[in-house]
Amino acid sequence: MDFDVIVIGSGPGGYIAAIRCAQLGMKTAIIEKYSALGGTCLNVGCIPSKALLDSSEHYYNAAHSFAQHGISIKDMQLDFGQMIKRKEEVVGQMTKGVEFLMNKNKITTYIGFGSFVDKNTVKVKSNDGQEQQISAKNIIIATGSKPSSFPSMPIDKKRVISSTEALKLPEVPKHLIVIGAGVIGAELGSVYARLGAKVSFVEFAASMIPTMDGTMGKELQKSMRKLGADFYFSHKVTSVENKGDSVVVRAENNKGGLLELEGDYCLVSVGRRPYTDGLELEKAGLKTDERGRIAVNDHLQTEVSNIYAIGDVIRGAMLAHKAEEEGVFVAETIAGQHPHINYLLIPGVVYTWPEVAAVGYTEEELKTNGTPYKAGTFPFKALGRARASMDTDGLVKVLAHAETDEILGVHMIGARVADMIAEAVVAMEFRAAAEDVGIMSHAHPTYTEAFKEACLAATGNRALNI
Ligand code: FAD
Ligand code: NAI
């Protein structure tokens, strides 16, 4: 065998798995079809979207709230080209960073398309058409996901676009129609709404971010309305038509009402599908399930015991940090260790402003499961820190067991909650009661006081500042 481990795909799942394998003394190779390492997350996902979210938030604040802070800017202008250029620079720094880490850990990198020859051998076809075969005792599939769509909304990458094109548009749309008000729709819709686009959401479900706790969707919608966004919930898209320099979206609501919207771009953000195209899984004795995912057991092992799969290509949340945890998990499993992942405590974050962050059970899930619970909430507007920064939108909601007081779920919307949710993860990992957090000192004035106060509210309605 040429290697102990071959990793196919260099996203956050694959590159982290490769590093951990190398740390554990395994001779490791990684295969990536694109010349830049880092996968969806670094190239066309987490990092570029956050770069544009940060830039557009600066622009929006400069235009709308600097004056209240006593800062006046004359002749402020948007240089959208520079915004895109800066985003590309950030991506470049990050992907070069992964390259550095591969070299530092003595991981052999193959740039080319990987496909199975048999359960221990992978063929790598490089862009210039050259082919070579490499073999390993173990193979980790980390080939990620691609945007999905429906026949009624074919993505042409010009007017009807996925998130990938939305990260590099040549101009700010005048009217962006977003199909799907999930995470991508909320984030990229925010970017363009802040830059002055009219944004209309057409969503199948009855609220924004419908898989999160219901309170979050309602609160996020209020904030997005302030950016001028329109919402068409409970609508099924029937057709999307590229008319050259415009796009027409037709939909039908659940009462049979018809909707027709005309915009200059239509972002299709209705989910992502696992990506295994061209992998020739069958040559290794593998197949995908009815949703295109690679089936794995609790050890993330496929039905062929030396082949593992991680990240977006398997079941579970399609999140970079979930893929990373699984990368470490598989490397340690191959090394004979007994790692553990607590899937309930993988946080989810939406990087709008205010941000949304959550961990554990939603209120809807607790109701469905019949778990006795109590809820405590605390609004951002009652925080000194939020008043000082004028970030008063949002709240923290803590769900605790009605009898034991153990925290079962934490749902936050507000300034910097993407960072604040880590405290809730720690508390829940150590199975804290709401009262435990309520009696811990939190620096004043900080946004984190909202979590303490919500915990106090859940513990016999003891919040202090409301
Ligand atoms: P990927 O990152 O998709 O990487 C798979 C890699 O495998 C790719 O580089 C691909 O080219 C390569 N590959 C595939 N097949 C082959 C083959 N046959 N041979 C060689 N190489 C191959 N998640 C978060 O947690 N936080 C966020 O803020 C966030 N923001 C996002 C924003 C957007 C716009 C999008 C689209 C996604 C975002 N995500 C975010 C999701 C996140 O990007 C994914 O969950 C994550 O990248 C999955 O990692 P992965 O390693 O499983 O796969
Ligand atoms: P999503 O699953 O978050 O949202 C898709 C939305 O589209 C849902 O609200 C769904 O009800 C709606 N929808 C589905 N079919 C529809 C139809 N025919 N018509 C209208 N609406 C329809 O998926 P999204 O936003 O595409 O993101 C894909 C993945 O990427 C997510 O799983 C997410 O985890 C990941 N991601 C994570 C981010 C983060 O962690 N901050 C940011 C962006 C993406």
Answer yes or no: is the C-beta of 98 below 6 A from any ligand 1 atom: no
Same domain? 284 vs 385: no
Query: 183 labelled as ligand-binding?
Result: yes
Examine residue 348 and state whether it is found in any structural domain, yes or no.
no
CATH at residue 442: 3.30.390.30
Shared domain for 339 and 430, answered yes or no, is no
Q: Is the domain of 421 the same as that of 320? A: no
Quick check: pTM over 0.95?
yes
| 305 is a domain residue | yes
Q: Which atom of ligand 1 is nearest to the CA of 113?
A: 19
Q: How far apart are the CA of 280 and the centre of ligand 2, in A? A: 28
- To the question of whether residue 278 is assigned a binding role by annotation, the answer is no
**44 CB within 6 A, ligand 2:** no
**Ligand 2 proximity of 181 Cβ (cutoff 6 Å):** yes
282 shares its domain with 293: yes
Q: What is the ipTM of this complex?
A: 0.99
305 marked as part of a ligand binding site: no
Cβ of 47 less than 6 Å from ligand 2 = no
What confidence score (pLDDT) does residue 27 get? 98
Q: 151 in a domain, yes or no? A: no
pLDDT score at 139:
99
- Are 60 and 125 found together in one domain? yes
Q: Of the ligands numbered here, which is closest to the C-alpha atom of 348?
A: 2
Pair 122, 237 in one domain = no
The confidence score (pLDDT) of residue 68 equals: 96
* 382 is a domain residue: yes
Domain count, the chain: 3
Q: Using a 6 Å cutoff on CB, does residue 321 contact ligand 1?
A: yes
Domain-ending residue, one of 270, 298, 315: 270
- Does ligand 2 lie within 6 Å of residue 322's CB atom? no
**Which ligand lies nearest to the CA atom of residue 312 in the structure?**
1
Ligand 1, pocket-test mutation among 41, 315, 421, most atoms within 8 A of CB: 41
Among 312, 343, 374, identify where a domain stops: 343
Domain-located, residue 22: yes
| pLDDT value, residue 171 | 98
**Is position 244 within any domain?**
yes
For residue 400, the model assigns a pLDDT of 98
Out of 270, 291, 307, pick the residue that ends a domain. Answer: 270
**For residue 228, what is the domain's CATH number?**
3.50.50.60
Residue 246, judged by CB atoms within 10 A of its CB (0-12, 13-18, 19+), counts as middle
Q: Is 239 annotated as a binding residue?
A: no
Claim to verify: residue 241 and residue 261 sit in the same structural domain: yes
Proximal ligand: closest to the CA of 237: 2
Predicted local confidence at residue 141, as pLDDT: 99
Listed residue (16, 9, 91) closest to 49, CA to CA: 91
Asked if 62 and 121 sit in the same domain, the reply is: yes
Whether 169 and 252 map to the same domain: the answer is yes
444 annotated active-site:
yes
Ligand 2 centroid to Cα of residue 259, in Å, is: 21
Note the pLDDT of residue 314.
Answer: 98
Same domain for 139 and 166, yes or no, is no
* Structural domain includes residue 466: no
Q: Which domain does 395 fall in, by range? A: 354-458
- What gap in Å lies between CA 27 and CA 253, rounded to an integer? 56
Closest ligand to residue 47's CA: 1
Q: Is 145 annotated as a binding residue?
A: yes
Cβ–ligand 2 contact at 177 (below 6 Å): no
Ligand 2 near 191 CB (within 6 A): no
Q: Is residue 448 part of a domain?
A: yes
Query: Would you state the pLDDT for residue 203?
Result: 98
CA max distance for the chain: 68
- Ligand 1 centroid – CA 45 distance (Å): 7
Which of 148, 190, 204 has most ligand 2 atoms within 8 Å of CB, for mutation? 204
Residue ranges of the chain whose pLDDT lies below 70: none
Query: For atom 52 of ligand 1, which residue has the closest CA?
Result: 311
pLDDT at 437: 98
Ligand 1 neighbour 409 (Cβ under 6 A): no
Distance 147 CA to ligand 2 centre (A): 9
Q: Are residues 253 and 178 in the same domain?
A: yes
Instruction: Give the ligand 1 atom nearest the CA of 124.
Output: 19
Asked whether residue 435 is marked as a ligand-binding residue, the answer is no
Residue 312, annotated as binding a ligand: yes
**Which pLDDT score is estimated for 24?**
98
| 141 and 31 co-located in one domain | yes
